[in-house]
Amino acid sequence: MASTTFRSAVRRALTFWRRSIQARVVASTMVLSAIVVSAVGWFLLQQTRDGLLQHRADAVLTEVGTAMADANEQLDNASTTDNDADDQYAQLSDQLQQRGSSRGYSLLIFGPVGTTAGFGEGAFYTAGLRSDSIPASLQRHFNEVADTAWTYTTIHQRGRADGPGLVVGSQLQLPADGGIYTAYFLFPLDEEQETLALVTRALVTAAALLLVLIAGLAWLVTRQVVTPVRMARRVAERLAAGHLQERVKVSGEDDLARLATSFNQMASNLQRQIRQLEELSRVQQQFVSDVSHELRTPLTTVRMAGDVLHDARRSFDPATSRAAELLQKELDRFETLLVDLLEISRFDAGAAVLELDEVNLVDVAHRVVDQTRALADQRATRVVVDAPGHPCLAEADVRRVERIVRNLVTNAIDHAETRDIVVHVGGDDQAAAIAVRDYGVGLKPGESAMVFNRFWRSDPARARTSGGTGLGLSISLEDTHLHGGWLQAWGRLGEGAQFRLTLPRRAGMPLRQSPLPLVPADAREVVG
């Protein structure tokens, strides 16, 4: 349950991130600002640290120089006395220790140089100081007579926490024995560390406040830009939904206001043109409907007269008899066209309804092939059915489905050019489909999307051998949409074409895939 909630939250966050340009702009600004602030803060900290340590080092070296000068002066004064080396060493240690106690540093004195390895018993320590506070590198420097040197270290003291420090080494000579002794002065850097920590906290606090301020400013700035865009998006969505009166509210005279004004002008022009097209379409549909209905009566009269002439054609001379036959044939075509026009007008008026029933597409395919066998024989074309051994069921209007399949088969016969036609049937738990495959002239690139247009023909100069009206595929597409199905075409010049009808297993069920492929399995693969 927790993992599901987490994944849902992650999906919502990702969706918000993809859809919100404001979030992306603010986040990008925050990331870039954080990088810049971090770099600047790191530079300032380094400069502050270097400045503090350099200032402390200068002060320490001055202090050590003064202490060593006083010690040398004391030793010079004591050189005229009879004190031995131990007494001079003790006096030197006491003097430096007293000064260190008052100045806040620790002390380690060792010597003479070259006589003892390591800090032995003769070395002097400030109470609690450990000898490992002196870095080995500095010890090696003073294994022989050398100039004053210093370095950073960690001061180790018994009973106290370790802390950073600065150690300075310098040498002096005892007059009593002429030995060179090394004095190590260890200065703690606690104050500098506290100062640096204070500066660090101040910089971190300032950086956090600065990032919050930048985020707020970025949010306000992007909001001023994004809000009008969001308003335009909502208005565009409502326009797309058919609310053509929607407009964007215009305020100000800046670029966004001018964009809103242009958007509103575009919407007004689109509304005017759409209304003009709707009115033109309505007039056209009404004209087709009126003409179709008005032609029914004269067509009936002409049909009656044509039937009389056609029945009596054997008593006419050959020319008149041929004219009677041509008249009958054209009346048949005219009546078919009129029926198709009436059907189209019903689709345009939204008056087409379905009479649903359980339909087996295998039976539909066989019935249509039987109905069109005479036409196929006239064209020297063979139509075969490739169907599974089980029913392929769909909830549909059997009359309309048969009309779709009949139109597809008739169209295939018209373009097969005496080659065989295969009607494939397939079905699954979600859908049922019929695909009509011919091996005729095929379709040019782009024509598969145009074959369902009203009165469209791939070759206007081509003879209408089957007497088609040019509306059959358009009506088939409307019938398919009425079922919530798919009617798709594939074709390639020289390889024929395939039209596929896919219907949902249950009315209203959304289609996701078809049981039959749109591109036939025997189509050659195009390389390049």
CA distance 415 to 404: 17
Q: Is the pLDDT of residue 1 over 70?
A: no
Put residue 35 in one of left, alpha, beta given phi > 0 → left and psi -120 to 50 → alpha.
alpha
Q: Is the pLDDT of residue 245 over 90?
A: no
Domains of the chain: which residue ranges?
247-351, 357-504
Residue, of 425 and 353, whose pLDDT is higher: 425
Q: Is the pLDDT of residue 190 over 80?
A: yes
Concatenating the DSSP letter of every residue in 370-399 gives: HHTHHHHHHTT--EEEE--SS--EEEE-HH
Supply the pLDDT for residue 461.
44
Supply the pLDDT for residue 433.
93
Task: Kindly state which CATH superfamily the domain 357-504 is placed in.
Answer: Histidine kinase-like ATPase, C-terminal domain (3.30.565.10)
CA distance 128 to 133: 11
Supply the pLDDT for residue 36.
92
When pLDDT is averaged across residues 409-430 and rounded to a whole number, the result is 89
When pLDDT is averaged across residues 508-515 and rounded to a whole number, the result is 88
Supply the pLDDT for residue 409.
92
Same fold, 247-351 and 357-504: no
- The residue written with tokens 């002439």 in the block is 309
pLDDT range class, residue 43, cuts 50, 70, 90: very high
Supply the pLDDT for residue 422.
92
Residue, of 211 and 314, whose pLDDT is higher: 211
Supply the pLDDT for residue 115.
60
Residue, of 275 and 54, whose pLDDT is higher: 54
Supply the pLDDT for residue 466.
47
Q: What is the pTM of this model?
A: 0.51
What per-residue string of b and e applies to 459-495 under the rule 16 or more CB within 10 Å gives b? eeeeeeeeebbebbbbbbbbbbeebbbbbbbbbbeeb
Supply the pLDDT for residue 244.
76
Range in 159-163, 382-386, 429-433, 497-501 with the lowest mean pLDDT: 159-163
When pLDDT is averaged across residues 41-65 and rounded to a whole number, the result is 90
- Which option is the CATH number for 247-351: 2.40.170.20, 3.40.50.720, 3.40.50.300, 1.10.287.130? 1.10.287.130
CA distance 120 to 142: 15
Residue, of 368 and 145, whose pLDDT is higher: 368
Supply the pLDDT for residue 122.
63
Residue, of 259 and 372, whose pLDDT is higher: 372
When pLDDT is averaged across residues 245-249 and rounded to a whole number, the result is 79
Q: Is the pLDDT of residue 520 over 60?
A: yes
Q: Is the pLDDT of residue 114 over 70?
A: no
Mean pLDDT of the chain: 82
Query: Which residues on neighbouring strands pair with residue 167, listed in sequence order?
Result: 151, 186
Q: What percent of the chain has pLDDT over 90?
A: 19
Residue, of 164 and 232, whose pLDDT is higher: 164
269-326 pLDDT tens trace: 888 887 887 777 677 667 666 666 677 777 777 778 778 877 888 888 888 888 888 8
Supply the pLDDT for residue 463.
43
pLDDT range class, residue 464, cuts 50, 70, 90: very low
Question: Is the distance from CB of 492 to CB of 483 less than 8 angstroms?
Answer: no
When pLDDT is averaged across residues 221-230 and rounded to a whole number, the result is 80
When pLDDT is averaged across residues 432-457 and rounded to a whole number, the result is 83
Question: Is the distance from CB of 489 to CB of 443 less than 8 angstroms?
Answer: yes
